[in-house]
Amino acid sequence: MKKWITILNTWLLAFGVSAAELPDEMEWLTNNEDPIFASIEATRGGEFTSSLQSFPLTFRTVGPDSNTAFRSFILENQLGLYALHPETERPIPALATHWAFGDDNKTMYFKLNPAARWSDGEPVTADDFLFALEMMRSEVIRAPWYNNYYTEEIVDITRYDDHTISVTAGSPKSRRELLNTVGVAPQPQHFYELTDDWVRRYNWAQAPVTGAYVFDEVKRGRSITFKRLNDWWGNELTYYRHRFNVDRIRLNVVRDMNIAYRHFLRGDIDTFGLILPEWWHDKTDTPEYRNGLINRIWFYNDIPRGAQGFHLNTAHPRLRDVRVRQGIAHAINMQRMLDTILRGDYERMHTFGTGYGDFIDTDIRAREFDIERARALFAEAGYDRQGPGGILRNAAGDSLSLAVTYTTQEHTSRLAILREEARKAGLDLQLNLVDGATGFKVMLEKKHEAAWLGWGGSGLYPQYWEFFHSLNADKPQTNNLFNISDAKLDALIEQYRVTMDLGAKADISRQIQQRVHELAIFIPGYQVPYTREAYWRYVRLPEAKGTRHSPSLFWPMEGAPHSTGGLFWIDQQLKAEIKADDRTFEPVLEVVETWRQKDQ
C-alpha cells in the first residue's frame, strides 16, 4: 500500500500525463539574507552527556504513550519544509529551498531541496509528504489529534514532480497563520507500512530522520545515545552551518534529580538546568563553582509559555459542580508558594498560557486565595459540614478531597504548602507522586482527579482544540485532561480554527480564555520568563549565548517552530585539561537581559 503513490506517478509520467500543474506566475520566495545566529568559532566533535528522569515508553512520535519529554529528541531532529528565524521570525529554508503563496489564501507551494536525504540514504521526495498525509489520517496510528488535524487543518497535499508540492489548509488564512499551519514534516514511505499492528510493530523502531543525528546505542531503561551523521545532507545549508556540533549525545536515565546533580558535579553530565530556585540559590556554593570549573547563566527569553497549573478532571463526580471547582481555586494559595518555596523567582500565571500578544486576555486574573469565598462556594455545593481534621463533607458523608497527580519529586514541597493552606478552607489535597512517563500516561488515560503539570509553549498562536474540544473528552490519549465538553467552548474553538483575520482570531482567543476561566477547570500556577543553567566551562556558547526564542541554551536538536538548537559546542582541549589537573578559573555568573520583557 505504501508504494501506490510512486507506482501511480511513474505510470502517469510514462504516458506523458501530469498529475497536477502549477499555477502560472507564482512568486517564489526564499531567505538566505537574515543574520546568522550560530558561531563561526564553533568546532565539531566530542560527546555531550545529559540525563532523562525516565526511559520513554516508545520511540514513536504519534500514538499511545508517545507524548513524553523524550519525543522532542526525535521530533526536533526531523526538519520541516522550513523553520522560523529566531530573531526576525521570517521563514528560512529547511527541506524546501523556495516557497510561494497561493491566491486562495489556503495553499502554499514548495520546491524541495534535491539534496535532502533520509538518514538511511534514501532521497526525500514529494511522495514522502503524500505518505505523511495518508499516515496521519490513518486509524492504525491511534492518534486522534493527528487524524483530525490532517483532515480538517491539512486538507490536501499535491505532488507536481519529485521535488515540488503544495500543502492546502482547511480554511483561508493570513500568510502568517499559513506558516503556522502548513509546515508539515514528511514521513519515510519506504520504511513504514500502515498495518493494523502499527503501534506495536513500530513501538521501538528507529525510523529514518532528516536531521543530523541518528540512534547509536540504546540500553533499555538505562541510556540512549545518538551519533551525528558526518555526511549529513544539511551541513552546508546557510542557517545550519556551525550547528549540531557534538559527535555524540548521550542521555543517561537518572530518576532522582539529586543523584543527577551529583553526576553533574563530578563531570559525568555536562549541563544542568537550574530553573528550580532551591537549586539556583542553595546548591551552587561548591568548589566546582567557586573554582570556575562550572559556569552559571540566567538568560531571559521571549517565548510563548504553555499552561502550568492544576487541570481538574470534570469526569470525577465531585468536580462536575462548577462551584466546587471555583471553591478549589479560591482554596489554593499560589502566592504563598511563589513567595516562599519559589523565592519570588517565578511569576503568577493568570490564563491558559502566556506570551501570545493580543491572543491573551490580560484582564483575566486568576482567582485569589480567599478562605471565606471558598467555604461559601463549597457550602452552596453541599459541603457544609465539618469533618475530621477540619475537612468539609456533605450530607452523604463525602469528604471534600482532591487527589493531585504529579510527576516531579522537587514539586512535593510546593504542593505541600498548597495542601497546608487548603485545609484552612476545608479542602484536603492528597498528593500522588508518580514516575514521569508513567504519571503522564495516568493523566492521558484520564485516571487523575487533578493533574499538576506544565505544557511547553508552541506555535505562533495558542492551540485550543486539543485541550478543550469535546471531541477529545472522555477519550484516552488526548490532551483534554479536563474531560470538558462544553457547547460554547466547542463553537468558539471551531470558529477560531477557520477565522482568517488575525484581529478577529485574537478576539475569539480571548473569548475562549474567558470561557475557560468561567468554567474553572484550570487553576493557573506560574510562569518562568527565562532559562537558568549551569554548565562545565568546556561547553561553549556563541557570543550572544542564545536567541530570543531559545527555551534552553543547550538543546542539541533543531527546535520548533523557531530554529534555536544545536548552537553550543565542546572545547575538547579544555575538557581534557580540566579532567587532567586541578586548574582553577575566575567564577562566571552571567545574566543576559537582551530579550527580557519589562512588563513581566
pLDDT digits (tens, 9 = 90+) for 268-281: 999 999 999 989 99
* % of the chain residues with pLDDT over 70: 96
Q: What is the mean pLDDT of residues 118-125?
A: 98
Query: Which band of pLDDT confidence, cut at 50, 70 and 90, is reported for residue 13?
Result: very low
Q: What is the mean pLDDT of residues 14-40?
A: 83
Q: What is the pLDDT of residue 68?
A: 84
What CA–CA distances, in Å, run from 413 to 223, 418, 442? 29, 9, 22
What CA–CA distances, in Å, run from 182 to 150, 166, 175, 244, 386? 10, 9, 10, 25, 56
- Residues 272 and 294 sit within 8 Å (Cβ to Cβ): no
The residue type found at 565 is G
Q: What is the pLDDT of residue 2?
A: 42
Residues near 117 by Cβ (< 8 Å), separated by ≥ 6? Answer: 123, 124, 210, 233
Place of cell 523556495: 98
For residue 420, the SS3 value is helix
Lowest mean pLDDT among 62-71, 99-108, 216-225, 259-268: 62-71
Fill in the DSSP letter of residue 485.
-
pLDDT at 146 over 80: yes
Query: Which band of pLDDT confidence, cut at 50, 70 and 90, is reported for residue 582?
Result: confident
Q: What is the pLDDT of residue 16?
A: 39
Strand spans (E) along 42-101: 47-52, 82-84, 91-93, 96-101
Reduced 3-state DSSP string for 137-172: HCHHHCCHHHHHHHHHHEEEEEEEECCEEEEEECCC
- Residues 243 and 76 sit within 8 Å (Cβ to Cβ): no
> What is the C-alpha separation between 378 and 13, in angstroms, rounded?
71
Q: What is the pLDDT of residue 510?
A: 98
Q: What is the mean pLDDT of residues 30-53?
A: 97
Give the model confidence (pLDDT) of 280-290 as tens digits: 999 999 999 99
Residues near 96 by Cβ (< 8 Å), separated by ≥ 6? Answer: 81, 82, 110, 111, 112, 113
Cα torsion through 350, 549, 542, 85, rounded to 10: -170
Q: What is the mean pLDDT of residues 343-364?
A: 94
Q: What is the mean pLDDT of the chain?
A: 93
Q: What is the mean pLDDT of residues 24-53?
A: 96
Query: Which band of pLDDT confidence, cut at 50, 70 and 90, is reported for residue 243?
Result: very high
- Residues 141 and 133 sit within 8 Å (Cβ to Cβ): no
* C-alpha cell recorded at residue 467: 485541550
Question: For the whole model, what pTM was predicted?
Answer: 0.83
Give the model confidence (pLDDT) of 431-476 as tens digits: 999 987 788 889 999 999 999 999 987 778 899 999 999 999 999 9
Cα torsion through 361, 365, 367, 369, rounded to 10: 160
- DSSP one-letter string for 212-236: SEEEEEEETTTEEEEEE-TT-TTTT
Fill in the DSSP letter of residue 319.
G
pLDDT at 14 over 70: no
Query: Which band of pLDDT confidence, cut at 50, 70 and 90, is reported for residue 127?
Result: very high
Reduced 3-state DSSP string for 449-467: CEEEEECCCCCCCCCCHHH
> What is the C-alpha separation between 206 and 191, in angstroms, rounded?
10
pLDDT at 3 over 90: no
> What is the C-alpha separation between 164 and 505, in angstroms, rounded?
31
> What is the C-alpha separation between 144 and 163, in angstroms, rounded?
30
Lowest mean pLDDT among 119-123, 452-456, 492-496, 504-508: 452-456
Q: What is the pLDDT of residue 24?
A: 86
